Chain A
Amino acid sequence: NAGVTQTPKFQVLKTGQSMTLQCAQDMNHNSMYWYRQDPGMGLRLIYYSASEGTTDKGEVPNGYNVSRLNKREFSLRLESAAPSQTSVYFCASSDQGSPGRRREQYFGPGTRLTVT
């Protein structure tokens, strides 16, 4: 199993350009997430998807859109990139279940995005 994969690993954009970050998981998980991490900070949730066909906003959704293409794939789109979106982006997935179940989130390796 590859777990959670993300593409690309690195990206440099100019202000105003658009791009889509791709994420895929092969663990048959229902839930998927997008986080961003700024230097010296913890991760902040951008969007998440509890199941195929559903998406919900997290803490910092402005400037982003997401698509849950199917159960495996969850993409994050920046329509008009801004320097404030320079960050490391992590995708994650998890199983669902009762609160006591482990339900750990499995994270991808991250995409390092710089917007100039």
Chain B
Amino acid sequence: DAKTTQPTSMDCAEGRAANLPCNHSTISGNEYVYWYRQIHSQGPQYIIHGLKNNETNEMASLIITEDRKSSTLILPHATLRDTAVYYCIVRGNTDKLIFGTGTRLQVFP
């Protein structure tokens, strides 16, 4: 599975959009981009995933560049409860997830 690169930490004001970038320049054609988050040492929680089209669900939006070498997770209206570590994971036809160190998002009032 391709490796991902994420910033170590980011800040966001409450109510504003949080845009979390992820680079995955070695992604191959059959690999999906998954996002999980981990709130305060709880078990990780699935957020969203996509292949090449932009995706949106009740939690977030995922924007994948046309060349698929990077993506951005968007939390449209961040709240204090969105403070967490966000993991970008590239996943092929396997059930295994390879977690990096993620981005620690701090939402402030």
Query: In the complex, what residue of chain B is closest to A41 when comparing beta carbons?
Result: B101
Contacts of A107 in B (CB 8 A): 42-45
Residue B10 at the chain A interface, CB threshold 8 Å? no
CA distance A99 to B30 in the complex (A): 8
Q: A41-B101, A42-B87, A102-B49 are in contact. Are A48 and B43 (CB under 8 A)?
A: no
A64 to chain B, nearest CB (A): 16
17 pairs from A and B in contact (CB 8 Å cutoff) = A33-B95, A35-B99, A42-B101, A45-B97, A45-B98, A48-B95, A48-B96, A96-B95, A99-B32, A99-B93, A105-B36, A105-B44, A106-B43, A107-B42, A107-B45, A109-B42, A109-B43
Q: Are A108 and B101 in contact (CB under 8 A)?
A: no
Chain B interface mostly: loop
* Contact status B43-A110, CB under 8 Å: yes
Number of interface residues of A (CB under 8 A): 30
Residues of A within 8 A of B (CB): 4, 31, 33, 35, 40-45, 48, 50, 58-59, 88, 90, 92, 94, 96, 99-100, 102-110
Find the B residue at minimum CB distance from A6: B43
How many chain B residues touch A (CB < 8 A): the figure is 23
- In the complex, chain A residues whose CB is within 8 Å of the CB of B93: 99
Tell me how far the C-beta of A22 lies from the nearest C-beta in chain B, rounded to whole angstroms: 15
Contact B96 A45 (CB under 8 A): yes
Q: What's the Cα separation between A100 and B101 when bound, in Å?
A: 25
**Minimum C-beta distance from B40 to chain A (A):** 11
Q: Given A102-B46, A102-B49, A110-B41, decide whether A50 and B101 contact each other with a Cβ distance below 8 A.
A: no
**B32 in contact with A100 (CB, 8 Å):** yes
B100 located at the interface, meaning its Cβ lies under 8 Å from any Cβ of chain A in the complex: yes
**Chain B 14-55: CB-based contact to A (< 8 A → 1; otherwise 0):** 000000000000000010100010000111111001010000
